[in-house]
Structure 1
């Protein structure tokens, strides 16, 4: 699994946004966090952190249990409301289910938020040995087919900001990353094997909306051993499914 993103320096986050920073960290981690863990992830002082947690608890966005903090019931209501309102999810879900049936593998819908790739929806394979990227999980926009495909199709200014944060300006690592992103754009898909989770092969394709920007990516995930020798067929299935969703998005 990819290592967690480094904490954002507290000074880099406006005071009015710190409560949102705490909520975002809780949402990304997918498990209850102690105050010490939240301090490590946010860079906030203990007194500032407790002020933000008190506000979030008062409004029902966070709950506290045995000294740990987790998203509260109002966060769940927001998530359910997002599921109902998301045009991307509505347009993608039928084709995701069809691709999962055709490939017998898991299929995810992933979007970029700031410097993270976040799973919006997942259709699980019915096979006993399967790969998935849990709904709500996030990883940095750096490794893996989903993250690289998203990064390759970000607006130039947003892409540059992420690359600056990851590699700095003018480094050999950044030049190599930019070349890889160019290759992904030209190919129309991104591939990875074991970059985020050991033993997992992935293929991602961009989902292009009416703005001609990628609304997200469609990712097929399979155990490397099962994908071996049928990569070309799996890529073709994913490309066709992605094109079908993109056409649907353009019509709405």
Structure 2
């Protein structure tokens, strides 16, 4: 579920399965065990703090006994660390994160264009991709005007607020409805402005028609952003290229004046994918 954002926002692998993965053999139940393992890792990634065994079992729908067996294997392989009867992600996840950053062609191709945008505008530039019904920054270049909040790579962000609306604008209605089910409850900006699914759907159609979105303190106080879609050769939206600005340095009109430049950069990135 995507939680309402704040300023700070915003199954399993047993020893047998690990052996199967190493020797390349497929055995009954292997994929089920693998999915359960991934469920446990995702639950820890989204939890926001170390979790008890009962919390992990509840989040994944596993029995405590099954969750414990999985955690034991993951701990031995350093995917998970156990401290004071609570579990958190281990150092291997940092290694895999580095490997993603090193090998990802999209962010590698985008970096030069992002650096040029940051130099030309003085603003921070972020590249974000879809992660289920959320979005995740995978690259960022800082500008000369500092933001009032941190936006680290890898932090899941909502699709119904801020630059995420660019992704949502290209959803068909069934996927949009699934997003609304996942968000649940009342939707509001960080300033407290309340909006309904119908309000959002109408706004998304406007965003899709004009090809960009300017967000004004929707997710974080004191911040405006300009988001444009990055599309591949088939026209599918594969990323968002976003400019991030403190509200006191750039008005909405200032950001809209930069739409052509950001759009050109987004098209250049898309052509390289």
Change over 3 Å in CA distance of 1:130–1:94 after alignment to 2: farther
Q: Compute the RMSD of aligned alpha carbons.
A: 3.1
Higher mean C-alpha displacement, 208-217 vs 158-167: 158-167
Do the aligned partners of 1:220 and 1:238 also contact (CA within 8 Å) in 2? no
Instruction: Report the TM-score when normalising by structure 2.
Output: 0.73
1:208 aligns with 2:238: no
Higher mean C-alpha displacement, 174-183 vs 47-56: 47-56
Deviation at residue 132 of structure 1 after TM alignment:
4.2
The alignment covers a number of residue pairs equal to 237
Out of 130, 153, 164, the position equivalent to 1:147 is: 164
1:161 aligns with 2:182: no
Deviation at residue 135 of structure 1 after TM alignment:
1.0
Paired residue for 1:2?
5
Change over 3 Å in CA distance of 1:239–1:2 after alignment to 2: farther
Query: Which secondary structure state, in structure 2, belongs to the residue aligned with residue 33 of structure 1?
Result: coil
Instruction: Report the TM-score when normalising by structure 1.
Output: 0.79
Paired residue for 2:267?
246
1:54-133 equivalences under 5 Å are 54-128=72-146, 130-133=148-151
Structure of larger gyration radius: 2
Aligned partners of 1:234 and 1:176: how far apart in 2? 23
Aligned partners of 2:123 and 2:141: how far apart in 1? 9
Do the aligned partners of 2:113 and 2:265 also contact (CA within 8 Å) in 1? yes
- The superposition leaves residues 109-153 of structure 1 with CA deviations (integer Å, 9 ceiling, x where unpaired) of 111111111111111233455554211111232212x21111112
Do the aligned partners of 2:81 and 2:90 also contact (CA within 8 Å) in 1? yes
Q: If each structure's helix is expressed as a fraction of its own residues, which one has the higher value? A: 1
Deviation at residue 48 of structure 1 after TM alignment:
4.3
User: Gaps spanning 5+ residues in structure 1: where?
Assistant: 6-13
Deviation at residue 45 of structure 1 after TM alignment:
5.2
1:185 aligns with 2:208: yes
Deviation at residue 68 of structure 1 after TM alignment:
3.9
Change over 3 Å in CA distance of 1:196–1:73 after alignment to 2: same
Deviation at residue 43 of structure 1 after TM alignment:
5.8
User: Gaps spanning 5+ residues in structure 2: where?
Assistant: 10-31, 186-194
Query: Which secondary structure state, in structure 2, belongs to the residue aligned with residue 249 of structure 1?
Result: helix
Change over 3 Å in CA distance of 1:124–1:64 after alignment to 2: farther
1:236 aligns with 2:253: no
Aligned partners of 2:147 and 2:158: how far apart in 1? 26
